[in-house]
Structure 1
Amino acid sequence: MPAITFFSLLLLFLLSSASHLLADPVLGFTRSDFPRNFVFGAATSAYQYEGAVAEDGRSPSIWDTFTHAGKMTDNSTGDVAADGYHKYKDDVKLMADTNLEAYRFSISWSRLIPSGRGAVNPKGLEYYNNVIDELVKNGIQVHVMLSHLDIPQILDDEYGGWLSPTIVEDFTEFADVCFREFGDRVSYWTTIDEPNVSALGSYDNGIFAPGRCSDPFGITKCTVGNSTIEPYIAAHNMILAHSSATRLYREKYRAAQKGAVGINVYSSWSYPLTNSNVDIEAAKRYLDFVFGWILEPFASGDYPEVMRTNAGTRLPSFTKSQSQLVKGAIDFVGINHYYSMYVNDRPLDKGTRDYSADMSVYQRASRAKPPSGKQVPSSSSRSDPEGLQLVLQYLSESYSDLPIYIQENGKSNI
């Protein structure tokens, strides 16, 4: 996932429906060529932007622990990052000078509620109020991401973070503070960034904080974890946490604030490598695992059938009350799109499996669908505009009542 590279601004397009992207591309366009409700913006995440990790009452997050343990390949940390905690006014001025229309940033849970629950940090509250006020003053639409891969380290130490259902209540309390304190100026809330990727990076291959995995699935060397079940448990609790926070917003804040609450997923389109039936089915299965894993519960109250079949009891089940909580608990889908995948069928392993083995596809990333019989390029750094259009069409058809927001898009750096 590209988000592990520090950045100060990342291109963000916000759409009210997928149909706006379906026209033929035109070079030399101007702002007037786009609908009024098509918004150009940029985005940052707290740990990659703010810095000031030990200032004004902020407690360590799981990323502080992870980076200071030397887990980043370049040994980078977020200690300073883009120094947005001190330089946000300059950055907002740059946004205004470039006619940026929207800005999405994330809230550091560790800065706002250092103990994970309970007392709100006055300095953290002041900082986020100042950022929001500065954006409003400059006519920039405010979008907030509640959790961009980071949670307070204290909660990971206490009960395992996303691996425990306890986090649902704590996350809802955190969201409640944000809705209450900032909701008079914020109408667009995204709860969690890329649960489909963050669950894998954090609990399957160990490349994200808190860096858990088990052999033979870890990309990095992990000392703790279970790659076969933990990604499913973490994503399950993320879905429940999102749903709880969304229901809270609808019951307590929507009437007055008139905002919307959505969730973000990492997206990539799947092209079947050949026209064989097994590869076509593999491409469909890929979409169920990538999108359906997170989004299908909001539509039907349960996971896709192929996931329940292939993962079996390793995939958590929704109780009847949980299914009712989750179903319909989403106002929009945010997607991060960088490239597409070629996939072909992979026999289902009979031994120990993780999420990728459960998907049972071979996959490789590249820009355009190759002619039959040609070698598939292995590079994953190429963009695929056609794949993005197909993703939007697929989501629009599969979840027809939901607006789609392209929250990250560009050229992948992995």
Structure 2
Amino acid sequence: MAPLLFFLLGLRLAALPVDVAALTRHDFPDGFIFGAGTSAYQVEGGVAEDGRKPSIWDTYTQQGYSVNKATGDVAADQYHHYKDDVKIMHEMGLDASRFSISWSRLIPDGRGDINPKGLEYYNNLIDELLQHGIQPHVTIYHCDLPQSLQDEYNGLLSPKFVDDYTMYADTCFKNFGDRVKHWVTLNEPNVEILGGYDTGELPPQRCSYPFGTNCTAGNSTTEPYIAAYHLLLAHASAVSLYREKYQVTQKGEIGITLYAPWYEPATDASQDVAAAMRMNEFTLGWFMHPLVHGDYPPMMRSRVGARLPVISMELSKKLSGSFDFIGVNHYLMLRTCANDTAFNMRQRNYWADAGVVDPYKYMQEGHAEYGPWALGKLLDHLRVEYGNPPVFIHENGWPRIVKNLSEIETDDDPRSMVLQDFLLVLYLSIRNGSDMRGYFVWSLLDVFEFLNGYGLRYGLCGVDMTAEGRTRYLRKSARWYSAFLNGGELRPPASPKIPFYDSA
């Protein structure tokens, strides 16, 4: 899932402070994985085929709430073209493919009977990847809760979610774990709950005034923290199950993937410096601190107070160390402006608790920068504050805005340059001691973007979304990435002036 509101931004470039000799993939550690990613609802299509039932994303888009009323009903139609896509991956030289399993396709009602056609599809996809020498890195839950569970008990707001999610994860481990060696429990839980339960801009569209205006139910002051707590419980439950029942025999590893921009102060003023520090704790620390230290960050605990659910001693032990790796989705650095007035409000939401102006609204005014160096600061933070966990960069990419969906564009040199910038920073972070395990470009193909529909393209490979057969075509960035994976060199960019996105 690409980050929030890129389609509104005009970002300034911060020059990349690197001066290194040409690099190849062989300069990265032995076993370092290079790949690309997608997710089920964003790429598969076939939403009403072969027994699949609706997820909350189907309901949201089919009711016309997404940008330009776009849906994932067909998307890139990978459900019917997965063999073609695996062939593309193989020809590019990818080590791995990151994808997610659709809960609604595998267990259509959220619990109960397995859908044989869904089981067959994911078995076929995994086998096809392995036959082409490509590792499957599988996300169990990528924000697409079965609608039936949302209807029954309000989804993430109920502890019943934890039991249903654990049974679903068990089904995945049992049926695919003999071949899948890299599992992700949750993708971007820190984004899902803000969009779904604070601002209400994303499904299931719960919020309260004045923090959100497009909701018929919800409480922005409490529900984000309740939903996050249940996601933490679900993660810990799945990891415990995997370690106790499957890991020894299946010899895989399991982790979680977090959305992780890096926050910098908007000015040198002490209040903005403090605000940036708070935002890094509120965004990344919200989940990392419990996973490493067994409780929420002290700053967050003190500011949110009793609205933050209690983590018992038993749960603390279960959460601490409940990962073999951490996945990071990183795209940009956000400038942060303090807003202490909001913290003094009687009713507060997430941004008010953090005492900041909503960084996404703030950067619509131009207060943001494109700076790959921010990835280095993020990785240093993980290394110093959280014990240097093994890390995969699970999403990183460059978007292009398009108004004409039938446009076929292959010239995307800026994407190649941006990816080079990030890989150079990643290399320097490894030299600085960060325990990096792999890097995945978002995305392999053009997909349905959760916040932007089809008007924003991240794909190394383009997809003609107006063609019945969803024709694929290679962009220059795909050829560049392939050349790098096959021994080509990285070099510092010739020009420091690269816009974060290009508007057609």
Q: Please, what TM-score do these two structures have when normalized by structure 2?
A: 0.73
Does the C-alpha gap of structure 1 residues 340 and 226 become closer, same or farther in structure 2, counting only changes over 3 Å?
A: same
1:28, CA displacement in angstroms?
5.3
Number of the residue aligned with 1:32: 26
Number of the residue aligned with 1:255: 248
Number of the residue aligned with 2:463: none
- Confirm or deny: 8 A CA contact 1:381 1:411 kept in the other structure: no
Q: Give the fraction of aligned pairs with identical amino acids, expressed as a percent.
A: 51
Q: Distance in 2 between matches of 1:274 and 1:201?
A: 27
Is 2:338 aligned against 1:345? Answer: yes
Number of the residue aligned with 1:292: 285
Query: Which residue identity is paired with 1:185?
Result: R
Instruction: Provide the secondary structure at the position in 2 that maps to 1:290.
Output: helix
Does the C-alpha gap of structure 1 residues 23 and 168 become closer, same or farther in structure 2, counting only changes over 3 Å?
A: farther
Number of the residue aligned with 1:225: 218
1:411, CA displacement in angstroms?
2.9
Residue in structure 2 matching 1:334, options 327, 331, 347: 327
Select between 191-200 and 303-312 the one with higher mean Cα deviation: 303-312
Q: CA RMSD in A?
A: 2.3
Q: Distance in 2 between matches of 1:387 and 1:312?
A: 30
- Confirm or deny: 8 A CA contact 1:338 1:384 kept in the other structure: no
Query: Which residue identity is paired with 2:351?
Result: S
Query: Which residue identity is paired with 1:396?
Result: R
Select between 235-244 and 271-280 the one with higher mean Cα deviation: 271-280
Unmatched 5+ residue regions in structure 1? 6-21, 367-374
1:222, CA displacement in angstroms?
1.1
Unmatched 5+ residue regions in structure 2? 6-15, 401-451, 453-504
Q: Distance in 1 between matches of 2:257 and 2:287?
A: 9
1:377, CA displacement in angstroms?
8.6
Residues 175-194 of structure 1 aligned to structure 2 (within 5 Å): 175-194=169-188
Is 2:361 aligned against 1:361? Answer: no
1:24, CA displacement in angstroms?
4.2
Does the C-alpha gap of structure 1 residues 242 and 376 become closer, same or farther in structure 2, counting only changes over 3 Å?
A: closer
Query: Which residue identity is paired with 2:350?
Result: Y
Number of the residue aligned with 2:376: 389
1:349, CA displacement in angstroms?
2.5
CA deviation profile, 1:70-90 (whole Å, cap 9, x unmatched): 110210111101101110000
Number of the residue aligned with 1:409: 396
Number of the residue aligned with 1:13: none
Q: Distance in 2 between matches of 1:143 and 1:399?
A: 23
1:276, CA displacement in angstroms?
3.4
- Confirm or deny: 8 A CA contact 2:265 2:336 kept in the other structure: yes
Is 2:194 aligned against 1:200? Answer: yes
Q: Distance in 2 between matches of 1:412 and 1:381?
A: 16
Give the count of matched residue pairs. 389
Is 2:130 aligned against 1:136? Answer: yes
Number of the residue aligned with 1:214: 208
Does the C-alpha gap of structure 1 residues 339 and 76 become closer, same or farther in structure 2, counting only changes over 3 Å?
A: same
Does the C-alpha gap of structure 1 residues 116 and 406 become closer, same or farther in structure 2, counting only changes over 3 Å?
A: same
1:321, CA displacement in angstroms?
2.3
1:133, CA displacement in angstroms?
0.2
Q: Distance in 2 between matches of 1:4 and 1:60?
A: 24
Instruction: Provide the secondary structure at the position in 2 that maps to 1:251.
Output: helix
Number of the residue aligned with 1:277: 270
CA deviation profile, 1:153-196 (whole Å, cap 9, x unmatched): 00001111111111111111111111111111111111111111
1:363, CA displacement in angstroms?
5.5
Instruction: Provide the secondary structure at the position in 2 that maps to 1:285.
Output: helix
CA deviation profile, 1:29-75 (whole Å, cap 9, x unmatched): 43333333222111111001111111111111111111111110210
Instruction: Provide the secondary structure at the position in 1 that maps to 2:74.
Output: coil
Residues 290-329 of structure 1 aligned to structure 2 (within 5 Å): 290-329=283-322
Q: Distance in 2 between matches of 1:380 and 1:412?
A: 19
- Confirm or deny: 8 A CA contact 2:334 2:368 kept in the other structure: no
Number of the residue aligned with 2:117: 123
Q: Distance in 1 between matches of 2:219 and 2:363?
A: 33
Query: Which residue identity is paired with 1:356?
Result: W
- Confirm or deny: 8 A CA contact 1:190 1:264 kept in the other structure: yes
- Confirm or deny: 8 A CA contact 1:383 1:411 kept in the other structure: no
Residue in structure 2 matching 1:95, options 89, 99, 109: 89
Number of the residue aligned with 2:98: 104
Q: Distance in 2 between matches of 1:161 and 1:55?
A: 24
1:277, CA displacement in angstroms?
3.0
Q: Distance in 2 between matches of 1:350 and 1:207?
A: 22
Number of the residue aligned with 1:51: 45
Q: Please, what TM-score do these two structures have when normalized by structure 1?
A: 0.89
Is 2:258 aligned against 1:265? Answer: yes
Q: Distance in 2 between matches of 1:213 and 1:28?
A: 50
Does the C-alpha gap of structure 1 residues 314 and 42 become closer, same or farther in structure 2, counting only changes over 3 Å?
A: same
Q: Distance in 1 between matches of 2:155 and 2:360?
A: 31
Q: Distance in 1 between matches of 2:31 and 2:165?
A: 31
Instruction: Provide the secondary structure at the position in 1 that maps to 2:357.
Output: strand
Does the C-alpha gap of structure 1 residues 133 and 115 become closer, same or farther in structure 2, counting only changes over 3 Å?
A: same
1:271, CA displacement in angstroms?
1.4
Instruction: Provide the secondary structure at the position in 2 that maps to 1:361.
Output: coil
Instruction: Provide the secondary structure at the position in 2 that maps to 1:362.
Output: coil
CA deviation profile, 1:284-337 (whole Å, cap 9, x unmatched): 111110111111111221111121121112111112322222122121111111
Select between 135-144 and 26-35 the one with higher mean Cα deviation: 26-35
Query: Which residue identity is paired with 2:387?
Result: S
Does the C-alpha gap of structure 1 residues 118 and 187 become closer, same or farther in structure 2, counting only changes over 3 Å?
A: same
Number of the residue aligned with 1:73: 67
Number of the residue aligned with 2:421: none
- Confirm or deny: 8 A CA contact 2:186 2:257 kept in the other structure: yes
